[in-house]
Chains A and B, each alone.
Chain A
Amino acid sequence: MSAALRASGVELSFGATPALRGADLTIATGEIVAVMGPSGSGKSTLLHCLAGILVPDAGQILVDGQRIDTLSETRRSELRRDRFGFVFQFGQLVPELTAAENVALPLLLGGVRRKPALQQAREWFDRLGLEGLHGRRSGELSGGQAQRVALARALVGGPQVLFADEPTGALDSITGEQVMELLVSLARDRGTTVVLVTHEARVAAYADREVIVRDGRVTSFDTQEAAA
């Protein structure tokens, strides 16, 4: 199985505070990996480095074997738009846009014309149990509905990798379970690689395996990584 993502000896400090101190991680294509660890251990920072949001001080980040830590901000931005999807704890929908416009956003930014983009976006609403909600704004959606809209937005462009940072952190356990069920089912159907940052074991249990970030380093338990 090929490596979709690889972090090698990644170091990053915020001022004098080191967040990552030589983090190594390899994630195979189509794999769902839970990144766990105590608060402040560096797990979100690792996700941001893997996603090209942050640039490490040292070490390498490779996507499909190509270094991305040496790319310009513009190229990394294009990479995030074209090949990655993101889901965060609070959905982070654009409040001025309708739910359908939020879902269509990555397509519009990628150059798809408004009508086909919205048409494509609306197809996600039935799939995610959001029938009839495409015209609502984020303030008119429940937390679970907003998070499903955010999931649709993350997946509408057919990303290779989905980055999810505490995607159920703001939801009750049943709603969180529904979101995870959708996230995992959709990712499996599409062969999408998923990097799932969570502190909840029940959420991590949806992943193929877990890695622990502690003091800026990654501990892995499975042999799959070594073989990748």
Chain B
Amino acid sequence: MSVPLTLLGLLERQPSHGYDLKRDYDTYFGRGKSLPFGQVYSTLARLTRDGKVVMDELAPGDGPDRKRYVITEAGATEVDAWLAEPVQAEPHLQTVLFAKVVLSLMLDRGAKSYLDAQRHAHLQRMRELTEIKRSGELVDGLLADHGLFHLEADLRWIDLTAARLEQLRAQVRR
């Protein structure tokens, strides 16, 4: 998740104070991990320095929340480009899961029991996400779905690898 681009996107919706940006970020994108105020204001300072954001008007009083931030043309262009660009489809072939399986086989450790434990951990997380789907709002449910589909893909790889462990063992222990 790119915090600067997400904040820029929120600013394209409407000019906002830092506090409002943090609240909206936490509501839609934080998912239990709140964005620190310090990071909000340091990001806004960098965006201002880079000409992607300007300060609109200063309300009476002191402090950072008196400042309202407005996206510039350059900032809006960057948001446009970011939203149109697909995220790189990573092959995931060098993930930690793969490394653990191969090393387990190389070192004659329990690759099968590792995969069983990993499957169990994945399913446990899927249970938690399913519970979020069942009890949460649509936004929470869709985010949980995203996590569920990724975990499911991992699980399919785990099952396939478990079925081919002997072949893989023969290759990595040559």
Chain A interface residues toward B at CB < 8 A: 38, 181, 201-202, 204-208, 210, 212, 219, 221
Contact = CB atoms under 8 A, between A and B. Distances in A.
A32 B68 CA distance: 53
B123 A205 contact: yes
B163 interface: yes
A205 B127 contact: yes
B123 A38 contact: no
Contacts of A219: 116
A210 B134 contact: no
Interface in B93-137: 116-117, 119-120, 122-123, 126-127, 129-130, 134
Contact of A212 (B119, B129, B130): B119
B151 interface: yes
A206 B148 CA distance: 12
A38 B159 contact: yes
Which bracket fits the contact residues of B?
10 to 19
Nearest to A208: B127
Interface in B58-109: none
A84 to B, nearest CB: 25
Nearest to B149: A202
A210 B123 contact: yes
B152 interface: yes
Contacts of A206: 127, 130
B120 A221 contact: yes
A201 B163 contact: no
B155 interface: yes
A38 B116 CA distance: 13
B159 A205 contact: no
Given A38-B159, A181-B134, A205-B127, A212 B116 contact: yes
A46 to B, nearest CB: 18
Given A205-B130, A205-B148, A210-B123, A38 B155 contact: no
Nearest to B119: A212
Contacts of B127: 205-208
Interface string B140-153: 00000000100110
A181 B123 CA distance: 17
Given A38-B159, A205-B148, A206-B130, 17 more contacts: A201-B122, A201-B123, A201-B151, A201-B155, A202-B130, A202-B148, A202-B152, A204-B123, A204-B126, A205-B127, A205-B129, A207-B127, A208-B127, A210-B120, A212-B119, A221-B116, A221-B120
A199 to B, nearest CB: 9
Contacts of A181: 134
